A and B are shown apart, each in its own frame.
Chain A
Amino acid sequence: MKILSLSGFIPEEICDTIRFIGYQGEEKISHYCGYAADYISQVLEDDSIDGAVFPKSCDSCRIMGSYLSNCKEKFLYQFGVPARQDGAAETYLAAEIQQYQKAVEGYYKVSITDIPQRIQKVNERNKELISLYENIENISYKFYLKSIHDMLQKPLYEQTVLSELPDKPANGKPIYLVGSFLSNTELAATIENAGMKIVGDNLTESKRLFSGPKLDPSNDIYMDIAAKILHNHLSPTQNNFRCILKNDLEEIKYKNVQGVIFATQKYCEPYDYLFSIYKKMLDEQGIPVLQVVMSNSTDNRKLEFAVEAFADIL
């Protein structure tokens, strides 16, 4: 079973998936998120992948099944993520998680019996990740992010959190990083090389991965997993911008952040909408912001000039 998953909404407590990091693919779709298009390319082109699971959380994901409809030989599953975070949404999502489990079991002819053990493993891993994040001011963010990307490529039971990561210079200007999955870890290196240090973020693979409540395997596991997904640090696709602004601003203030770098994919509407009010919020606080727009999952354009110029104004 080699299922390529897109987004942190896919519950890792159910079964192993390989987290999509980036891919240089053939699919080019106009007005469409390059990151999502690269995911489609990998599902279509990579023979080592035998399945794909993706959420229905933004317009690019919503119509992904249409672009994959000729891919008959692989397991394809669109995971419904509620656009709300209330009790009704939790109940619905719990049922959706069970549907997902049944679909995997049916397609791969397996019986999934180790969910409590997987919950335990996720709890332990996340505890270590939280410790790492709490020390984020002192470690190299590039290596931090890269180590998580590498970890998410592995089966859950083989995932280990690196505790020994290179230090970062102590006197950098404190920066907060906003965005979805950051395929381009070079951006982090560019930021650090320009004399800034990332002291917090809201990335999918970082804070959003481990910010939800710890699960108790003795509870209703599906309801618990659902609650965790819905109450992790929120994505703009979950349509609660107020909550995102409030939580991010608290951390930004607490960590005395001097500037924010807002990294987005071209044609990623949820982040484009969020940016319009995020920028206004930061302007009111007198905190400068730099928006960096990448065209696809492997975009590694020379961003040094913009980042260096931003470092200079701080």
Chain B
Amino acid sequence: MALSSTQLQAKLMREYYKDFSKYSRGKPPQKKVAWVTAFTPVEILEALDISYFYPESYAAVIAASGKEQTLLEESEKQFLCRDCCSYACCIEGSLTLKEAPRGMPPKPDVLIATNNQCNTLPNWWNILAQKYKVPLIILDYPGEAANLEFAYDYVTKQHKELIVQMEQLSGNKLDLECLMELIEHSQKSVESWNQVIELLPHREISPTLFFDAISFLITSRCKPETVELYTLLAQELLEFPLADLSKPALFWLGYPLWYHPKRYLQELLENCRIVGSNYITWWSLEYLGDEPFQKLFYAYNNTFLNLTQETKRKKLTGCIQRSGAAGTIVLHNKSCKCDFVSACDINIPQAELEIDMLDRTFVNITKAAQQIELLIESVCTV
């Protein structure tokens, strides 16, 4: 019998966390384990039957469970400055105190960090490498601004070297056909997810659903169940009532607030519609080209935060225009310098909030309320 979207989500979550519970009971995982950043070419790991775990996502889960403050404080005791990315601080605290809502993740056999979203993550992974004394692999993606030919050669050499290293680690041999099949799953996951998010401006759907549902595109994008999940989700969302177009339409430009039950400042936006968010488009990777290495290059070199400012501006402007938003809520996120500048060329009214995606104490909510009120006023009088 076919599974519902809820059952599929539960299945994917069970699969992702299965080693956590085993590990917490003292059983080592059966497969080799890599800790990876969110834009790692995990298709290579999946093809070699290596488990992968995303510390960033887990930090979000920790904040959603309301446990982040103790852990952030603990990270300071470990000499990690609170100015650093809150994801890093939260996980540092969690690993030190051995406290986390779903148990401790299995220890890594290898650490893999990429710089295609920011330069902070590879720095953080260096700390993890020191803690666990395991190999650290940095995948360096020069980005869209670099010379295409040189960047392609450089990135492809790294991908090929990664395969060799992971073959040695896992004892498995990579099958290129299998890799291609997994890449195709990822492509289909992206296509299905894009159909899901297209519905946000048109239906009465809380953005919370999208902020939570995207986690599968991050952690399980090359699994066939993810394609199935998003295809079903798109069908289900089509049954939702049409959006109330009389409410002001706003774009959420920044991360979800993981500590917030609704992942955004819902209490300040009750009479508005959130019609779009750039965050939910970040993993809509474009696997261009014909063969696996080309596809991996385009997908992971040209992630949104690795594009030129001009391309980012065009993409973001298009995204906002398609959403029909009349104003944007821009998060000046303490933890992410790179995302904030995406908004610098957007020419519709904005409320720029000083905030953090994980640290609930890092916001002046009275000021934020005033800024949002002003934004709504200006949007309604346009």
Interface residues of A (CB under 8 A from B): 30-32, 56-60, 62-63, 65-67, 69, 78, 80, 82-84, 88-89, 91-92, 95-96, 99, 236-237, 239-242, 245, 266-267, 269-270, 272-277, 279-280
Report whether B80 and A273 are in contact in the complex, using a CB–CB cutoff of 8 Å.
Answer: yes
Which of B56-64, B81-89, B168-176, B189-197 makes up part of the contact surface? Answer: B81-89
Report whether A239 and B83 are in contact in the complex, using a CB–CB cutoff of 8 Å.
Answer: no
Specify which chain B residues have a CB less than 8 angstroms from the CB of A58 in the assembled complex.
Answer: 119
Count of A-B contacts judged by CB separation below 8 Å: 128
Report whether A63 and B157 are in contact in the complex, using a CB–CB cutoff of 8 Å.
Answer: no
Specify which chain A residues have a CB less than 8 angstroms from the CB of B150 in the assembled complex.
Answer: 92, 95-96, 99
Report whether B126 and A280 are in contact in the complex, using a CB–CB cutoff of 8 Å.
Answer: no
Report whether A56 and B143 are in contact in the complex, using a CB–CB cutoff of 8 Å.
Answer: yes
Report whether B84 and A95 are in contact in the complex, using a CB–CB cutoff of 8 Å.
Answer: no
Report whether B354 and A89 are in contact in the complex, using a CB–CB cutoff of 8 Å.
Answer: no
Interface residues of B (CB under 8 A from A): 78-81, 83-85, 88, 92, 113, 115, 118-120, 122-127, 129-130, 136, 138, 140, 142-143, 145-147, 150-151, 153-154, 157-158, 161, 308-309, 332, 334, 337-338, 341, 344-345, 354
Specify which chain A residues have a CB less than 8 angstroms from the CB of B158 in the assembled complex.
Answer: 84, 88
Report whether A273 and B127 are in contact in the complex, using a CB–CB cutoff of 8 Å.
Answer: yes
- Give 15 pairs: A residue, B residue, CB < 8 Å, sorted on A: A58-B119, A63-B338, A66-B309, A83-B138, A84-B138, A88-B154, A91-B154, A92-B154, A96-B147, A239-B113, A239-B136, A241-B126, A267-B83, A270-B119, A280-B130
B124 vs chain A, min Cβ distance (A): 6
Nearest chain-B residue to A33 (Cβ)? B337
Nearest chain-B residue to A67 (Cβ)? B341
5 more contacts with CB within 8 A, not counting A95-B150, A276-B80, are A56-B119, A63-B337, A99-B147, A242-B136, A273-B123
Specify which chain B residues have a CB less than 8 angstroms from the CB of A89 in the assembled complex.
Answer: 140, 154
B110 vs chain A, min Cβ distance (A): 15
In whole angstroms, what is the CA distance A305 to B129 when docked?
36
B304 vs chain A, min Cβ distance (A): 13
User: Which one of A80, A84, A245, A272 lies within 8 Å of B84 (CB-CB)?
Assistant: A272
In whole angstroms, what is the CA distance A287 to B142 when docked?
39
B341 vs chain A, min Cβ distance (A): 4
Specify which chain B residues have a CB less than 8 angstroms from the CB of A56 in the assembled complex.
Answer: 119, 143
B95 vs chain A, min Cβ distance (A): 12
Known contacts A65-B309, A84-B140, A279-B79: A273-B126 contact under CB 8 Å:
yes
Specify which chain B residues have a CB less than 8 angstroms from the CB of A60 in the assembled complex.
Answer: 337
Specify which chain B residues have a CB less than 8 angstroms from the CB of A84 in the assembled complex.
Answer: 138, 140, 158
Report whether A275 and B79 are in contact in the complex, using a CB–CB cutoff of 8 Å.
Answer: yes
Report whether B157 and A276 are in contact in the complex, using a CB–CB cutoff of 8 Å.
Answer: no
Specify which chain B residues have a CB less than 8 angstroms from the CB of A83 in the assembled complex.
Answer: 115, 119, 122, 138, 140
Which 8 pairs across A and B sit closest by C-beta, in order of nearness? A66-B341, A241-B126, A92-B154, A273-B123, A272-B81, A83-B140, A95-B150, A88-B157
Specify which chain B residues have a CB less than 8 angstroms from the CB of A63 in the assembled complex.
Answer: 337-338, 341
Known contacts A65-B309, A270-B123: A242-B334 contact under CB 8 Å:
no
Report whether A239 and B122 are in contact in the complex, using a CB–CB cutoff of 8 Å.
Answer: yes
Report whether B344 and A236 are in contact in the complex, using a CB–CB cutoff of 8 Å.
Answer: no
Specify which chain A residues have a CB less than 8 angstroms from the CB of B92 in the assembled complex.
Answer: 276
A43 vs chain B, min Cβ distance (A): 16
Nearest chain-B residue to A64 (Cβ)? B341
In whole angstroms, what is the CA distance A46 to B126 when docked?
38
Specify which chain A residues have a CB less than 8 angstroms from the CB of B115 in the assembled complex.
Answer: 83
A262 vs chain B, min Cβ distance (A): 10
A66 vs chain B, min Cβ distance (A): 4
Specify which chain A residues have a CB less than 8 angstroms from the CB of B145 in the assembled complex.
Answer: 78, 80
Specify which chain B residues have a CB less than 8 angstroms from the CB of A239 in the assembled complex.
Answer: 113, 122-123, 125-126, 136, 138
Report whether B154 and A269 are in contact in the complex, using a CB–CB cutoff of 8 Å.
Answer: no
